[in-house]
Amino acid sequence: MKIKRAFTLTELLITVTIIGIIASLMIRSIAQNRPNNEQLMIKKVYTEVSNVVNQMVNNDKWYGNGNENTGTSLSNTGTATYKGYTFGGAAGSDAAKAKFCNIFKTYLNVAKTNNECTQEATFENGGHFVTADGVVWILPLTEFSDADQTYEIQVDVTSSGSNDRNCTTEDNIDNCNGPDRFKILVKQNGMIEVPTKDKVLRYYLKNFEYNKSFKEIKEAANKLPVYDEESKSDETEESDSQTENENTDE
C-alpha cells in the first residue's frame, strides 16, 4: 500500500516566498524598462495625425473632385458634405478656415469639445477638443493656401494628473522634467513634419528610453543634426571660410 505524502506547511511557506521574490523582481524589471508616458503618448499621437491627415487628403468626399473641390490638397475649401455634415465654404470665410479642424475631429474619439473650430483656442481654455485618451488638441484655422508653409497642430499629451507639466521641449530643463506639449507640422499636400529644431521630439519618435532623466534625453537628442536652412547655411559658410583660409595659407 502506497502512502500519499502532502506538502508540509513549511514547504508551502517556502514555495510562496520564492514565488513572491520572483514576482517582485519581475515587476521591478518591467517598471524599469518602460518608456515614460509622454514619449509613449506623443508616438501614438504622431502616428494618429499622420494616418488621419493621409486619409483626409486622399478622401474624395473631403478634398477630391467629388464635391466642389478641384484637386486633392488641403487648400481646397469648397463645401464637402459627408455623413450628414457639411464643412468648408467660400475662400476667406471662417467656414473655409475651419474645414480642416472640423473634418480632422470626425476621425478621433472626441470626449469633450471646448471651443468651436471657428475660434482660436489655447491649452488654458481647453484647446479645440479633448480626446478620450486625455490629449488636448489645438488645430490650425487656415485655408492651407501656401504650399511651402507648414501649419501647426498642437497637443498636450498629459492634460491632467501628477504628470501635467504644461511645458514644451523648448522650456528650461530645470523647470520641466520632460515636455508634455508638442507641435506637429502639416503641409498643404498632407505631409507631416517635426519642427526642424525640435530634436527632442525627433529623438522620442525614433527611440525608446528607459529610466533616463529629461536632462540625459535632451543631451542625447542634441547630438542629432539639425535639418533647417539656417543651419545648412551656417555649415556651408563655415566650410567655405575654412577653404578660403586654407587657400590663403598656401
Tens digit of each residue's pLDDT (9 = 90 or more) over 55-100:
998 887 888 654 444 446 898 888 888 778 889 989 899 999 999 9
Give domain status of residue 66, yes or no: yes
DSSP sequence for 102-143: HHHHHTS-EEEE-S-TTS---TTTT-SEEETTS-EEE---S-
In a domain? residue 200:
yes
Cell of 38: 509622454
> Mind listing the pLDDT tens digit for each residue in 11-38?
677 777 878 777 766 655 554 555 578 8
Model confidence at 226, pLDDT cuts 50, 70, 90, reads low
End-to-end CA distance of the chain: 105
Please check whether residue 77 lies inside any domain of the structure. Answer: yes
48: domain range? 35-219
* Closest alpha carbon to 149 in 96, 73, 65, 40: 73
Residue pair 204/180 in contact by the 8 Å Cβ criterion: no
Closest CA to 67 of 87, 84, 51, 93: 87
pLDDT bin (cut points 50, 70, 90) of residue 143 is: very high
Residue 190, all three cell numbers:
498632407
Instruction: Please tell me the distance from the alpha carbon of residue 64 to that of residue 57, in angstroms, as a whole number.
Output: 8
What is the reported pLDDT for 249?
43
Q: 171 lies in a domain?
A: yes
Asked if residue 243 belongs to a domain, the reply is no
pTM over 0.85: no
Q: Is 248 left (phi over 0), alpha (psi -120 to 50) or beta?
A: alpha
For residue 191, is it within any domain?
yes
- Look at residue 69 in the predicted model and tell me its pLDDT: 43
Number of domains in the chain: 1
Kindly state the average pLDDT of the residues 124-137.
Answer: 93
* Structural domain contains residue 242: no
- The residue count for the chain: 250
In this structure, is residue 249 part of a structural domain?
Answer: no
